[in-house]
Structure 1
Amino acid sequence: MSFPKLCKSCLMQHPNGLFHKTNHVYRALSQLQHHSSLNGKQTLRHRNVRHYSDSSDNKSKLLKNVRGVNLDTIGSWNNKLSLPILYEQSVKKGKIIPRVPLDEIHALSVIGRRKENEDRYIIEEIRPNLLYFGMFDGHGGDFAVDFVSSHMIDPLSFWLTQTPNLSSVLKHSFCELQNLLARHLAYYHLDNENIKTGTTATVCLLRNSTELVVGHVGDSLAVLCRDGKALRLTEDHHPDDSDESSRILEKGGKIICNSQGIAHVNGRLAMTRSFGDIELKSYGVTATPFIKSIEVKHSHDAFLVLGSDGLSFAISDQEIVDIVNQSHNPEEACNRLTDQAQHFGSEDNVTVMVIPLGAWGKFESLPASSTLSFGRMLSNSRNY
């Protein structure tokens, strides 16, 4: 693998004055460049022995002899996944930044006890070092969820050419896509049942492996594992939220609970933000997304999980994190999560996506939450 040439004089003139911070990493990576032909590809594998994915003794000794590089700041060094290095970004940040490869990400969707599967997901690299993850949970038919999941890439790609601000990209993209969906439904499906179709959307943009921005409407979750704990990046847009219900009531809508005590807008929709649901837009149901921006810290962040409400209905955020932490790879994690959700009584479609980050495997020795064990006990007791 050929790395770009960077001179120290350029680093000294860096506007952030990062020369002293990056010099050690620069030396380490520069020396590794000389040895990269050993395996033909520069990758980072977390291991207890603290060396790169190549098992060569020469490369191991090289890294051990590089002074001033705190390899513990990278991640767990207990990772079973090989993650490529973002070379230029590592030099800029003064620490080694792994790239999240698409082939390490895994997603799984199961129909559950429903007749149709109205969940959709997207994993795509829009441009170099900019990943797009999407989770969509449809209702009232699959027209809206198919439309939104297949067309979201278009406004995202356009607005990325207009502004570098990822939050603005998401806000504009959600608004534009809702207008496009509304026009499409009005022209082609005005007298059709598809006019009542809608979908959630949780969209994540990850730039340079460190800048994560999440935009969402509805109740499809995004959870980050940080230091072994669940960090929720989304909020469920339900009518029982005081801020959400206030907007609905101000617009003349009504909050009506069904026989199970679940609040619905005008007795029909169990969420206050969504794509589609055209007849409820005048009552305050909006497609304006909530936006959350966060810096990914690969020494602390093990993975990101996206899921439909078929997952979150049955399993808590911390239980999700615990299950993934006990899994060997994202594929196993997805299988375990969907199985556990159905075992705990989820009757909806269950869709989950697991994106591994730098600290993958670091927290696998932590005990699973007591609530997960208690849930298994309750689930087993239903058979008696």
Structure 2
Amino acid sequence: MITRSCYHSLRIPAQHHLRRNTAKYYHDYTRFATPGGIVRVPLNSPKILGVVSSRGNRSHQEDHYAFATLSLPPESLAASIKKHHGVDWDASAVGEPLSREVTFVGIYDGHGGSAVSQYLRQELHGMFESVDKEHIPELYQWARELGGYFKRFRGGVLAPWIDPGVKDTPILDTEARATQAFWEADRHLSMDHVAQQCGATASVAILQSLDAPATAFFASDKLSVTIAHCGDTRVVLCAVDGGKAYPMTTTHHAEAHVEAARLRRMMGSSLVTDSFGESRWMGALANTRSLGDLQFKPFGVTPEPEVKSKLLKGSEWAYMIFFSDGISSILSDDEVVDLARDAPDPKAAATNILSFAEELGSDDNATVIVVPLAGWGKITGPDKTKGLRDYRRSQAVGSERQKRM
């Protein structure tokens, strides 16, 4: 583990703190069309997004989160929908300003301190709006200068834009926009020495209703969901049919198949098992993808997110849940989705998950975000993990009694 802490705020030089294009259009409410006009609903309502967070028994809170409604170019959104879903989306059927709106939800789990996760909470959603493909060649050169692993880096998803001599490059779709935003965040973090020795994992969702007239994400019949993910925070969908859990993220640990193949191909093996039996890359990091951790970047730790997109029929999905490893280290995906199924609102659902993890002994920082979808409250079939949870609760209670004797 990284032993040096960095709990103070990052101090990015003022001239670098904001992107070249500093205009921001994001806001903290969602809008949708009704026969009487456009309605605004605040995202911080417990009925719209359920959020709970706990420090556990740690001295500092390193988990952070953010949510916002972003304004993105309709042509970029249309290109993404065509690429990932094969659907021709007509922005003119929705009209301004709703054709530009997407909902952003992000969860950030810091390690070695809270500075990087706090920076992401404050800045990453703004970067999603402000990234510019004209800046990718400069960003690519910065990545190559990290050395080591990145000497062989060829741009990944951003490869079509890395040559400054190429004209008429494609428009940035959502995958490229997310990838550039993660890279830009890492470049800005590199300007402060604090981010050399601490970092954060991140899972971000972009939700776009494809309905016309426009509907909010929680009522959308046709919803595009794009997840950009680095590390071991998790995003899981819950289906109405039987309450099945559908994971949208994989864990970026060195022993994971995708990460092991990537790192061994480029770096050989630097996997060390600690005294607790946990595998750590370079003997220090559990995660092989993260933001910050600049000292480990030459050794293959990358901020490049894994991006997945899924087109949902809203009525077939009850909710989406984001959670940090203070939850996932204790509960399975199935237990997490089942704990939310009978809650009266998203905030109560998130509270149920956190409370049960703490009952079972979670003492880490823990955060849960529950995002309701059109199938909220309509899950069919039995609670699959109730018997297991009852047994685990009884064991935890018995263990606690023995400690007190």
TM-score norm. by structure 2 comes to 0.66
Deviation per residue, 1:284-324 (Å, 9 max, x gap) = 11111111101122111010101111011111111111110
Match of 2:54 in 1: 110
Match of 2:396 in 1: 379
For 1:152, what is the secondary structure of its paired residue? helix
Amino acid in structure 2 at the alignment position of 1:375: R
Which range moves more in the overlay, 223-232 or 164-173? 164-173
- The answer as to 2:282 corresponding to 1:274 is no
Inter-CA distance 341–361: structure 2 relative to 1 (3 Å threshold):
same
C-alpha RMSD of matched pairs (Å): 2.5
Match of 1:24 in 2: none
In structure 2, distance between residues paired with 1:225 and 1:84:
24
For 2:314, what is the secondary structure of its paired residue? coil
TM-aligned CA deviation for residue 84 of structure 1: 8.7
- Within 5 Å, which residues of 2 pair with 1:52-71? none
- Within 5 Å, which residues of 2 pair with 1:275-290? 275-290=291-306
For 1:138, what is the secondary structure of its paired residue? strand
Count of aligned positions: 286
TM-aligned CA deviation for residue 222 of structure 1: 0.4
TM-aligned CA deviation for residue 99 of structure 1: 10
- The answer as to 2:125 corresponding to 1:153 is yes
Match of 2:237 in 1: 224
Amino acid in structure 1 at the alignment position of 2:205: C
Inter-CA distance 357–84: structure 2 relative to 1 (3 Å threshold):
farther
Match of 1:355 in 2: 371
Deviation per residue, 1:113-161 (Å, 9 max, x gap) = 1110000000111134310000000011111111222110232012489
Q: Is the 8 A contact 1:251 1:282 kept in 2?
A: no
Deviation per residue, 1:206-265 (Å, 9 max, x gap) = 012311100010000001111211100000001111331233343255100111110001
In structure 1, distance between residues paired with 2:56 and 2:179:
32
For 1:296, what is the secondary structure of its paired residue? strand
Inter-CA distance 297–161: structure 2 relative to 1 (3 Å threshold):
farther
- The answer as to 2:260 corresponding to 1:245 is yes
Inter-CA distance 161–331: structure 2 relative to 1 (3 Å threshold):
farther
Amino acid in structure 2 at the alignment position of 1:152: L
User: In terms of Rg, which structure is larger?
Assistant: 1
TM-aligned CA deviation for residue 174 of structure 1: 1.1
- The answer as to 2:278 corresponding to 1:262 is yes
Match of 1:175 in 2: 183
Inter-CA distance 328–287: structure 2 relative to 1 (3 Å threshold):
same
Unaligned 5+ residue runs, structure 2? 1-29, 72-97, 135-170, 210-216, 218-222
Q: Is the 8 A contact 1:253 1:284 kept in 2?
A: no
Match of 1:212 in 2: 225
Inter-CA distance 100–211: structure 2 relative to 1 (3 Å threshold):
farther
- The answer as to 2:202 corresponding to 1:201 is yes
Inter-CA distance 133–100: structure 2 relative to 1 (3 Å threshold):
farther
For 2:313, what is the secondary structure of its paired residue? coil
Match of 1:8 in 2: none
TM-aligned CA deviation for residue 348 of structure 1: 0.7
- Within 5 Å, which residues of 2 pair with 1:29-178? 102=43, 103=45, 104-127=48-71, 128=98, 129-159=101-131, 163=171, 165-178=173-186
Task: Indicate which of 301, 325, 328 corresponds to 2:317.
Answer: 301
Inter-CA distance 106–157: structure 2 relative to 1 (3 Å threshold):
same
Task: State the 4+ residue runs in structure 1 displaced beyond 6 angstroms.
Answer: 98-101
- The answer as to 2:345 corresponding to 1:329 is yes
Q: Equivalent pairs: percent with the same residue? A: 30
In structure 2, distance between residues paired with 1:364 and 1:352:
23
Amino acid in structure 2 at the alignment position of 1:372: R
Inter-CA distance 159–84: structure 2 relative to 1 (3 Å threshold):
closer
Inter-CA distance 160–323: structure 2 relative to 1 (3 Å threshold):
farther
Amino acid in structure 2 at the alignment position of 1:196: Q
Unaligned 5+ residue runs, structure 1? 1-82, 89-97
